[in-house]
Structure 1
Amino acid sequence: MNARDNTNKPEELVPSRYALRVGEIDVLVVSDGVLPLPAATMATNADPAALAVWLDHMFLPPDAFDWPLNVLVARSGEQVILVDTGLGSQFPGFPRAGQTPHRLEAAGIDLSSVTDVVITHMHMDHIGGLLVDGIKERLRPDLRIHVAAAEVAFWDTPDFSQTAMPEPVPDVLRSTARQFMEQYRDRLHVFQERHEVAPGVVARRTGGHTPGHCVVDIDSNGQRLTFAGDAMFPVGFEHPDWQNGFEHDPGESTRVRMALFGELADNGGLLVATHLPFPSVGRVAREGDTFRWAPVFWDH
């Protein structure tokens, strides 16, 4: 299988985008690829034996796993909104991530058509796509980048005291956030708690994972989808109290996660999240004191 596309790159043999409609709003989930991470970062407050049982139950390796990365594109009226931008290509240790720019192009979405970007939070796997060489020049000059005020303030002097990240990561997160602010500060549209980015597309701050972490609600004609960013991870449905090593406030993250799960279970809306396996489209149901993930059947 050596078919080639018109960019002379090997044709991808796995799906990397999934389209759906939420009322009158077109939505595209795009895989930015995967990040290999230590399994222990998935549940830093869990008994290691319990985490090992869960990993085995899910047929996942005991020591490391591939962390999915998803971004989302929504078209509301004349606006094209990109939610998060992936990792970018400036991190050579993660060659299978940073796929967003060329996968948008393969989907027929020119970067110059994007009118708005929503940043759920300023970790490198959410802002790095805007820092790839040549990307800024392809963006429209009036691009609006929406981010919570609390997030901008946090990265002036970020606090990593409650995180449990691999040792090199905090310094890279700091430098990437600093570079992002240097390049895009003049395009930021900062909001406090809630902001309507486009008709039916609302960003709202949840905090937790970072102080300014936000989710994006898409609501049209009685249909609903929430892009939850890093508010939840695959292990969170069965163990919503297990805390991730990348959470800057683990206790608040737990509260936010459980509140969002409860909200989604009650309203029946679709869920997409950055680190759920692609295409990360499904619903949430209550299962006693925990929750159950119900992936949608793909619509071909």
Structure 2
Amino acid sequence: MSLENAAHPGKPRLDELVPSRYALNIGEIKVLVVSDGVLPLPTAMLGHNADPAARAAWLGDMFLPQDAFDWALNVVVVRSGKQTILIDAGLGLDPDLNLPRAGQLMKRLEAAGIDLGSVTDVVLTHLHMDHIGGLLVDGVKEQLNPELRIHVAAAEVKFWEAPDFSHVSMPAGFPDALRATAKRFSKEYRSQLQLFEDEHEVAPGVVVSRTGGHTPGHSVVRVASGNDRLMFAGDAVFAVGFDHPDWFNGFEHDPEEAARVRVRLLRELAATGELLVATHMPFPSVGHVAVDGDAFRWVPVFWDY
């Protein structure tokens, strides 16, 4: 597998009018952000504890629709030394939820020339279905390396044995789908799980750390080489979280802790100046964080062609 030319595809497909992958180097480590598509969800999930008028005002300021909009789904592939690491695996296919524009990861990895059999490690930020579903698509497991290592926090696996949905605010059908997908994943891949408690080095310069909050085992991945740094923050950061880090996202199982984690990570990123990528930030979700009074400011990178 090579990421050398992954950002410069050949002849574009007629049904893909926008880029779906973006490559960059973090020192000697190669990073590829891949879009798994978009997930249409109600805008109330951006801040279900917020005053509706304040939420409507923010949406207006951002030129976003008031009822529902498309959440990005981003996945990252990292090449460090001889290891090829897939960070999260996208939504996969769930016909019961009718989400046809998501679950694009496997065909986009193939289009980028990435052979599933070359992946040595998978890191899962957490076990929500839009992060693990790609591994459950028919025919995917058979293509994976039989010695594949799947790294996930022990607290995350424990949580999904009897998950608590009492503090979330999700559309109907999602809790059942999340339970079923996590259960199926644990059954199919249990023998390949590499559990860690708080922090684990997956490869040289690639470290996964448990943050909790969004889910008890939610984790972020830090990539470092030379003077370059990048954090893949999973679901700890959303677009609205820069202006309103205290707004609760509907998928957060412990929203108060998730808000504390979000503020801590954004402060850290603003202080260090390292790059941020997150699952649900608009593709390619590569940028910096700046402090803006009592809130934060998202500073997207200029695309490098």
TM range (shorter): over 0.9
Matched position secondary structure for 1:174: helix
Give the match for residue 45 of structure 1: 49
Match of 1:34 among 35, 38, 57: 38
Give the match for residue 133 of structure 2: 128
Matched position secondary structure for 2:60: helix
Residue 178 of structure 2 is aligned to residue 168 of structure 1: no
Shift of 1:10: 4.2
Matched position secondary structure for 2:95: coil
Paired with 2:281 and 2:200, the residues of 1 have a C-alpha distance of 25
Shift of 1:11: 4.7
Give the match for residue 121 of structure 2: 116
Paired with 2:14 and 2:300, the residues of 1 have a C-alpha distance of 29
Unaligned runs of 5+ in 1: none
Aligned runs of 1:256-275 on 2, under 5 Å? Answer: 256-275=261-280
Give the match for residue 91 of structure 2: 87
- Give the fraction of aligned pairs with identical amino acids, expressed as a percent: 68
Paired with 1:75 and 1:180, the residues of 2 have a C-alpha distance of 25
Count of equivalent residues: 295
Give the match for residue 200 of structure 2: 195
Give the match for residue 69 of structure 1: 73
Give the match for residue 157 of structure 2: 152
Paired with 1:291 and 1:281, the residues of 2 have a C-alpha distance of 16
Give the match for residue 27 of structure 2: 23
Residue 251 of structure 2 is aligned to residue 240 of structure 1: no
Paired with 2:124 and 2:266, the residues of 1 have a C-alpha distance of 21
CA offsets 1:93-145 (integer angstroms, 9 cap, x no match): 10000010010111111000100000000000000000000000000000000
Give the match for residue 143 of structure 1: 148
Matched position secondary structure for 1:19: strand
Matched position secondary structure for 1:72: strand
Shift of 1:59: 0.7
8 Å Cα contact 1:90-1:132 kept in structure 2: no
Paired with 2:230 and 2:255, the residues of 1 have a C-alpha distance of 25
Residue 168 of structure 2 is aligned to residue 186 of structure 1: no
Match of 1:103 among 81, 99, 108: 108
CA offsets 1:133-179 (integer angstroms, 9 cap, x no match): 00000000000000000000000000000111112110100000000
Paired with 2:21 and 2:133, the residues of 1 have a C-alpha distance of 19
8 Å Cα contact 1:26-1:74 kept in structure 2: yes
8 Å Cα contact 1:23-1:221 kept in structure 2: yes
Residue 236 of structure 2 is aligned to residue 250 of structure 1: no
Paired with 1:255 and 1:58, the residues of 2 have a C-alpha distance of 24
CA offsets 1:226-246 (integer angstroms, 9 cap, x no match): 000000110000001111010
8 Å Cα contact 1:31-1:100 kept in structure 2: yes
Paired with 2:70 and 2:15, the residues of 1 have a C-alpha distance of 22
Give the match for residue 58 of structure 2: 54
Matched position secondary structure for 1:85: coil
Shift of 1:90: 2.8
Matched position secondary structure for 1:81: strand
Give the partner amino acid of 1:241.
D
Paired with 1:42 and 1:106, the residues of 2 have a C-alpha distance of 32
Paired with 2:154 and 2:186, the residues of 1 have a C-alpha distance of 13
RMSD in angstroms over aligned alpha carbons? Answer: 1.4
Paired with 2:16 and 2:100, the residues of 1 have a C-alpha distance of 15
Match of 1:294 among 287, 295, 299: 299
Matched position secondary structure for 1:150: helix
Query: Structure 1 stretches (4+) deviating beyond 3 angstroms?
Result: none
Give the partner amino acid of 2:34.
V
Taking structure 2 as the reference length, what is the TM-score of the superposition? Answer: 0.95
Paired with 1:152 and 1:267, the residues of 2 have a C-alpha distance of 31
